[in-house]
Structure 1
Amino acid sequence: MAKFTPEGTLLPADVADALKYEIAAELGITGKIDTANDYWGNVASRDCGRVGGKIGGNMVKLMIKRAEETLARGQSPF
């Protein structure tokens, strides 16, 4: 059965968090994250891409690349 997300979100919270940590691991920044408390305050905005700034930070670029690869294989990215 389909799993619906609240209005205004693209992914369920657990899926979004898993993706966020997977991308952080690929970028090599997981050592700066307090995973026990889900605290990202030690991660520089430069590492993730500036919030509210130019679109195209490292995490955004990698997430877009992943979605494009998934679509190329004919699968749904969601």
Structure 2
Amino acid sequence: MAQGQRTNRKVIPAASAAMDSFKWETASELGVQVPQGGYMGDLPSRVNGAIGGNMVKKMIAAYEQSLAQGNKPPTPQVTNQTTTP
């Protein structure tokens, strides 16, 4: 993998378990059968893209809902994360 492609890191590392749970929940809602052990690398990219796209839609909807209720969720402080080979 090229060095510039290692950017798939959680902004808040403590949210990793919650994001995995969210991924399985979204896959289940779409009717995708997650293989035993949770490895999804054998699924077609179209299926994985649908899961990720629906996750983003749900996150945006939740943010919009909180704004409509007058609550502004906190914005995480993003630091410049550099990768080392």
TM-score (norm 1): 0.51
TM-superposed CA distance for 1:19, in Å, is: 0.4
Cα RMSD between the aligned structures?
3.4
1:61 is matched with 57
TM-score (norm 2): 0.48
Q: Which has the larger radius of gyration?
A: 2
Identity %: 37
Partner SS for 2:40: coil
Deviations 1:16-75 (CA, angstroms, capped at 9, x unpaired): 11100011111111x1x22x322102321112328xxxxx83443344334444554559
Instruction: Return structure 1 stretches of 4+ with deviation > 6 angstroms.
Output: none
Higher helix share goes to which structure? 2
1:25 is matched with 28
1:43 is matched with 43
Can you give the 5+ residue segments of structure 2 that lack an aligned partner in the other structure? 1-8, 74-85
Can you give the 5+ residue segments of structure 1 that lack an aligned partner in the other structure? 1-6, 51-55
Partner SS for 2:11: coil
1:13/1:49 Cα in 2 relative to 1: closer, same or farther (>3 Å)? Answer: same
How many residue pairs align between the two structures?
A: 64
Q: Which has the higher contact order (CA 8 A, sep 6+)?
A: 2
